[in-house]
Chains A and B, each alone.
Chain A
Amino acid sequence: MLVQGIKSRPEYKGLNVEPHAKRHLFVIEGEGAAALTDQVEAKGRDFLDRSEILYLAGGAAPKAYDVALTALSPDVFWQAPTLQPLLFRLRACLEQARMGTRLYIAGTEGFIGQVMQVALEFGIDFNSIHTEHRGSTARRVQCVHCKGITDNVTTSSFACTHCGLPLLVRDHYSRRLGAFQGVNIDAEEPGTAPAPEEIFP
């Protein structure tokens, strides 16, 4: 379960396909595929021929969700090897997107955050974007000291992968950065950082 009650954290309300949209753009990572297949079960297949799916398997590659998504026969299914080309392709899609296009994002929180950043650059109101958190609760964290971002943080404390300071992961989230805030945990007495504890499995 995600920690509740962080005021700065976006609420991931779940995908809810809007039947009247002219075009559906799904940006999906790993376990997020199940959020889409659940929608097909709930809403039927009508929207699929107006749908484009950009998919990144990520840590869920062994589960072969790409097979299940291809079997849906959407208008476009495209699979990215890593996040960077996925975001590149997403920009191309958004450049060409017309009125009436809906954006849906499902996957881990770090993934949602980074896709959301691109969408915000294109001036899409974040309230209009459907998001669903699936898979790991690992956090993407920005070190407040060196500003470096570390992906897939599962423990608190953890060592910043850029400057090496041991960081406490605060329950404070920036949509603009798509990241939680990490603050040096033993600043007052360097060397006294507690051992990392897995709290975001």
Chain B
Amino acid sequence: MTITFRSETFREDFTFRNSLYNIRRFPFPFDRDEYMYSVNMEPHVRARKDSVFENLIDVDEHYVAEMQDRAMVLKEDPLRCQALPHMMAAQWDTLELLMEHQAQDYPEHFTLEKNGDRWRWINRPMGIDDTFTFGDAATLPYPPMEYITRQAQGDFCIVDQRDNNLWMDAGMVTTQADWSLDFDIGMNFMEWHGPVPLAHQIGVFDRALKFLLNLQQGKPTRRLNWTMTVNPRLDTSPENYHKWGPDRTTVTPENVGQKMHLRVELQSLWRLPRSNAILFVIRCYLISLEELVTVPKWARRLPRVLASLPPEIVDYKGLTRNRPIMIDWLSKYDDGSPTSAGIYPD
């Protein structure tokens, strides 16, 4: 299927919108009417057509605009893309994985030709046609991870595995929910999750780490995470918090439907073949409340979930100020009927 890429912005005039088709395929993260942290991992396998799980590396109508936004972020702050020196093999692993998946699942848009180590990569939406030698970084215009992640939606972290732990040793992070790669690079799994409340105490990270240390090649895994963002802004980094923080005071009962967005991360984790590192893909999807309530099941469920949150999670996700406005507005769409199990629209 040929995707029609939208021309839109994630800053200043915020022209980002979802098409009707894209709304229906949004990865709504709540499979029931309440929420708590859990090790909610499942095999990352293809699921139903016209969902974001149709392909394992999802490309959608926002692809070109997201890549333009990433390029802008990197011009302002090159530290959003960093790799420690021992991660070069993992960088090539990442390039191979993303090129192969994009070319295989979107042949109208991407082509990968391999002739031994001589590879040709064609990215039609971005007008790229490069020939390079796999394994020789000097033949690419950027280091391999940066090269391919400037052409793939989502943030990317490559974590090294040693000493029975995982280490955040490389990443391209420009669409993050308020964490800093520059600060966290080099940290282990427990350290980079340090600021998350509650989950440490209930053992979520111990179990998740144990699980991930045993991740096998060819058997990626996934989970959904979520927060809320005012305006469809991809770059909600701590670096720029003083620039986007004031947005939170602009929400009113009149504009909450357009301004407030559910921000969902589809996190997928892949064992890499040469380096034995893990590629951690954090793909961000945004949907305004107005768009979301066009799906009646989601419109009923979201206010119930928001009302059920423990105060620590409300605080950590930055929802304190606007939660009551959201619940009030959304409750108009909740007639109290039961909701069906699972995340998909009825």
Q: Which of B183-203 contact A (CB under 8 A)?
A: 183-187, 190-195, 200
Binary contact readout A50-74 vs B (1 if CB under 8 angstroms, 0 otherwise): 0000000000000000000000000
B246–A188 CB distance below 8 A: yes
Give the residues in chain B near A170, CB-CB below 8 Å: 195
Nearest CB on A from B241, distance (A)? 5
Contact B242 A184 (CB under 8 A): yes
Residue of A nearest to B243 (CB): A187
The answer on a CB contact under 8 Å between A144 and B187 is no
| Given A144-B180, A177-B183, A187:B194 Cβ within 8 A | no
Give the number of residues in A that approach B within 8 Å (Cβ atoms): 24
- Residues of B near A177 (CB, < 8 A) are 183
| B301-346 at interface with A (beta carbon < 8 Å) | 321
User: A187's contact among B186, B191, B241, by CB below 8 Å, is which?
Assistant: B241
Indicate if B239 sits at the interface (CB-CB under 8 A): yes
* Residues of A close to B180: CB separation below 8 A: 144, 181
B183: which of A9, A142, A188, A190 is its contact (CB, 8 Å)? A142
Q: In the bound complex, what is the Cα–Cα distance between A183 and B178 (angstroms)?
A: 11
A7 to B187, CA, bound (A): 11
Q: Is B182 an interface residue (CB 8 A)?
A: yes
Encoded as 1 (CB less than 8 Å from any B CB) or 0, chain A from 152 to 182 comes to 0000000000000100001111111100010
Inter-subunit contact B241/A7 (CB<8 Å): no
Closest A residue to B248 using CB positions? A188
User: B321 contacts which chain A residues (CB < 8 A)?
Assistant: 188
CB distance from B142 to the nearest CB of A (A): 22
- CA A9 – CA B192 in complex, angstroms? 10
User: Which residues in window 77-91 of A have CB below 8 A to B?
Assistant: none
A175 and B241 in contact, given A7-B193, A8-B192, A188-B248 (Cβ under 8 angstroms): no
In whole angstroms, what is the CA distance A110 to B240 when docked?
Answer: 26
- Which residues in A have their C-beta under 8 angstroms from that of B190? 7-8
Chain B, 217-241, CB within 8 A of any chain A CB: 238-241
Enumerate chain B interface residues (CB-CB to A < 8 A): 79, 180, 182-187, 190-195, 200, 238-242, 244-246, 248-249, 321
- Lowest 5 A-B CB distances belong to which pairs? A187-B245, A7-B194, A8-B194, A8-B191, A176-B186
Given A172-B183, A174-B186, A175-B191, 11 new contacts (CB under 8 A)? A7-B200, A8-B187, A171-B194, A172-B195, A176-B187, A177-B183, A181-B238, A183-B241, A184-B245, A187-B241, A188-B321
